[in-house]
């Protein structure tokens, strides 16, 4: 593996800096808890108390996040690292201890009689106004102190542990393929191989391997979704989706408009899928093993250095700032590239306010699609770089806007690549783009349906692998019609998607669709307005931690509550589909 450099965090778990951080974190948590118990019993001297809480919380949050991320990043490249897992468990327990002060503050703040005046007349509180007002609004969902403490402690050994189980089982699963045992990531990478026989054999091998872990992973998804259902009921949310919308800081009407547009435009994506099936020799729709098959020809194969240089060149078409961020990522060794490119199933990116840097892990297989994935992850880093100028309490952005910068950066690279391509390469690039858009619109829609059904059925019964497989197939059928051959599906795709196994993050599917279409709308405005629009995009990214989804969109003149906006962004993809159909006649 070409590794990233984590020295800006810590050099090792044994280092004095890391060990001292554990001690200091525990000390700060205890001090903040004592402060909360003592001071949040009345509203006397409220201004002083709020300011002390904010500054102390920032100090604690910086150190806690730095240590937690070091554990997480270590595990992400070495799932069985016992030392990292030990300290991850330690960090989860420490994080649970912060629940007392957080709960005390959340329940006390709404009681401050003159809070609006205090915020208006104090510089720090004014800067934290959105953060404070969200706490006041969310207080209705906060339970009693002792209940919140128990929940926080139990989650470390319930949903968090279930998520770790799923990650470990999928990371270590051995797949029997071509007379040898390979990893799940390796066999899934073969889904885009140029040889149809390889793709089909890999597909069969993948499906044959899943039953080995289906039962324990089914227990994991039951544990996570069951916990979320119970907590939603306790807190007063109507459903897990209701909670996801609230935590996303968006209105249900905005999500409804997005989903409605996605459904309306499905026939266009079906045309693309059917044409792809025909090009690959299938008469009755596209079998799942050929969904990721390459179409068209590209003579370009990218090394890591070539991929980075390609991204530098194309990022520069947006702004020097974006190009410089990508160069910094290379020079400061922010990126880990598994070599051979088969060690991880999913790319990841994490921005760290404590050191004003990001870390990225992604495959570079030589394909154009892997370059797009790298551009996507560097987009997350760019978002982080913009928001690092904000205070920590203003830096926590939500799921839908989290995919905006990343998808925007994908769009930059794709559109730049199309300009100078010949016919065969244009077909190749278009198909790569449409393949990604289809995943984000069609597949995401089916996953959204699937997750909603899982939450609903889990209220009354535990779900076994057969039931989960059937639900996944049903969701695929609902959205794909005859475009995907119904007799050749991937029913076990609930096993390998880590997003389903996060107790604190439900429905991490529609944000990808939001991000794709929002980014396309932003890019369209950039093309119209040019360089002056760059700072508007940067402002949008900086403010994502202190505005609702609807409010932040207005910074670039977009109304995301309007179905017309989503239709206009989908129309951009329809033009790509029409171009693809024309070029492949």
pLDDT one-digit tens code per residue, 223-266: 999 999 999 999 999 999 999 999 999 999 999 999 999 999 99
Q: Give residues with Cβ within 8 angstroms of 522, minimum separation 6.
A: 404, 408, 537, 540, 556, 558
CA distance 26 to 94: 7
Q: How confident is the model at residue 415 (pLDDT cuts 50, 70, 90)?
A: confident
Q: What is the pLDDT of residue 1?
A: 55
Q: How confident is the model at residue 341 (pLDDT cuts 50, 70, 90)?
A: very low
What's the CATH class of domain 16-157?
A: mainly alpha
Cβ(115)–Cβ(136) below 8 Å = yes
Considering all CA atoms of the chain, what is the largest pairwise distance in Å, rounded to the nearest integer?
Answer: 76
Exposure class string for 353-387: b at 16+ Cβ within 10 A, else e: bbbebbbbbbbbbbbbbbbbbbbbbbbbbbbbbbb
% of residues, the chain, pLDDT over 90: 78
Q: How high does pLDDT run on average in the chain?
A: 92
- The count of other CB atoms within 10 Å of the CB of residue 242 is 13
**498: nearest Cα among 307, 347, 330:** 347
157-160-166-172 Cα dihedral, nearest 10 degrees: -80
Q: Give residues with Cβ within 8 angstroms of 266, minimum separation 6.
A: 441, 442, 445, 479, 481
| H/E element, 149 | helix 145-155
Same fold, 16-157 and 172-296+438-501: no
* The pLDDT of residue 26 is above 80: yes
Region 332-354 average pLDDT: 70
Q: What is the pLDDT of residue 240?
A: 97
Q: What is the pLDDT of residue 302?
A: 85
Region 57-84 average pLDDT: 90
Q: 58-62, 115-119, 194-198, 421-425: lowest mean pLDDT where?
A: 421-425
Q: What is the pLDDT of residue 35?
A: 97
Q: What is the pLDDT of residue 421?
A: 81
Region 498-512 average pLDDT: 93
Q: How confident is the model at residue 481 (pLDDT cuts 50, 70, 90)?
A: low
* The pLDDT of residue 294 is above 80: yes
* The pLDDT of residue 187 is above 60: yes
Q: How confident is the model at residue 332 (pLDDT cuts 50, 70, 90)?
A: very high
Question: Scanning the structure block, which residue is given the tokens 């429905």?
Answer: 507
Question: Is 382 or 484 the better-scoring residue by pLDDT?
Answer: 382
Question: Scanning the structure block, which residue is given the tokens 């475009």?
Answer: 483
* The pLDDT of residue 55 is above 80: yes
* The pLDDT of residue 557 is above 70: yes
Q: What is the pLDDT of residue 57?
A: 96
Per domain, the residue ranges of the chain are: 16-157, 172-296+438-501, 304-424+511-583
Q: What is the pLDDT of residue 338?
A: 67
Q: What is the pLDDT of residue 346?
A: 54
At the second CATH level, the architecture of 172-296+438-501 is Orthogonal Bundle (1.10)
């Amino acid at each position: 593996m070409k590794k990233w450099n984590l020295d800006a965090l810590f050099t090792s778990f044994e280092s004095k800096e890391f060990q001292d951080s554990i001690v200091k974190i525990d000390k700060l948590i205890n001090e903040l808890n004592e402060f909360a118990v003592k001071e949040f019993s009345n509203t006397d001297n409220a201004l002083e108390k709020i300011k002390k809480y904010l500054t102390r919380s920032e100090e604690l949050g910086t150190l806690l996040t730095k240590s937690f991320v070091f554990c997480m990043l270590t595990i992400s490249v070495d799932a069985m690292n016992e030392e990292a897992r030990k300290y991850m468990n330690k960090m989860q327990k420490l994080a649970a201890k912060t629940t007392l002060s957080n709960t005390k503050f959340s329940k006390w703040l709404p009681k401050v009689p003159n809070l609006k005046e205090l915020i208006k007349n104090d510089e720090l509180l004014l800067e934290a106004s959105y953060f404070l007002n969200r706490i006041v609004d969310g207080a209705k969902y906060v339970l009693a102190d002792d209940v919140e403490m128990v929940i926080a402690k139990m989650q470390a050994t319930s949903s968090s542990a279930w998520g770790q189980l799923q990650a470990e089982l999928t990371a270590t699963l051995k797949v029997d393929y071509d007379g040898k045992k390979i990893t799940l990531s390796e066999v899934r990478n073969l889904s885009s191989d140029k040889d149809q026989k390889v793709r089909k054999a890999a597909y069969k091998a993948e499906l044959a391997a899943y039953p080995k872990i289906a039962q324990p992973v089914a227990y994991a998804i039951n544990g996570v979704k069951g916990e979320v259902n119970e907590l939603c009921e306790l807190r007063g949310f109507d459903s897990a989706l209701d909670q996801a919308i609230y935590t996303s800081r968006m209105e249900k009407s905005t999500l409804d408009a997005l989903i409605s547009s996605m459904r309306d435009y499905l026939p266009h994506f079906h045309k693309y899928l059917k044409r792809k099936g025909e090009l690959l020799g299938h008469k009755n729709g596209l079998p799942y093993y050929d969904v990721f098959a390459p179409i068209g020809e590209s003579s370009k194969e990218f090394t890591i250095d070539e991929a980075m240089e390609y991204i530098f060149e194309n990022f520069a078409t947006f702004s020097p700032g974006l190009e410089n961020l990508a160069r910094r990522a290379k020079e400061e060794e922010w990126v880990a590239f598994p070599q051979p490119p088969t060690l991880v199933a999913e790319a990841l990116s994490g921005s760290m306010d404590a050191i004003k840097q990001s870390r990225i892990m992604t495959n570079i297989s030589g394909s154009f699609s892997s370059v797009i994935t790298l551009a996507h992850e560097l987009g997350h880093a760019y978002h982080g770089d913009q928001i690092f100028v904000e205070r920590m309490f203003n830096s926590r952005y939500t799921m839908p806007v989290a995919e905006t910068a990343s998808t925007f950066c994908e769009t930059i690279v794709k559109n730049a690549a199309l300009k100078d391509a010949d016919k065969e390469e244009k077909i190749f690039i278009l198909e790569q783009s449409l393949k990604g858009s289809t995943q984000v619109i069609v597949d995401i829609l089916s996953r959204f349906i699937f997750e909603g059904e899982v939450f609903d059925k889990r209220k009354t019964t535990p779900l076994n692998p057969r039931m989960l497989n059937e639900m996944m197939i049903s969701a695929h059928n609902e959205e794909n019609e005859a475009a995907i051959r119904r007799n050749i599906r991937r029913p076990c795709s609930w096993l390998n998607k880590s997003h389903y196994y996060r107790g604190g993050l439900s429905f991490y599917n529609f944000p990808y669709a939001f991000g794709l279409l929002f980014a396309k709308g932003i890019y369209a405005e950039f093309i119209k307005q040019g360089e002056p629009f760059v700072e508007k995009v940067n402002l949008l990214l900086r403010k994502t931690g202190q505005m609702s989804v609807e409010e932040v969109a207005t910074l670039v003149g977009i109304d995301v509550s309007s179905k017309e906006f989503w239709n206009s962004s989908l129309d951009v993809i329809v033009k790509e589909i029409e171009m693809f159909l024309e070029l492949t006649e």
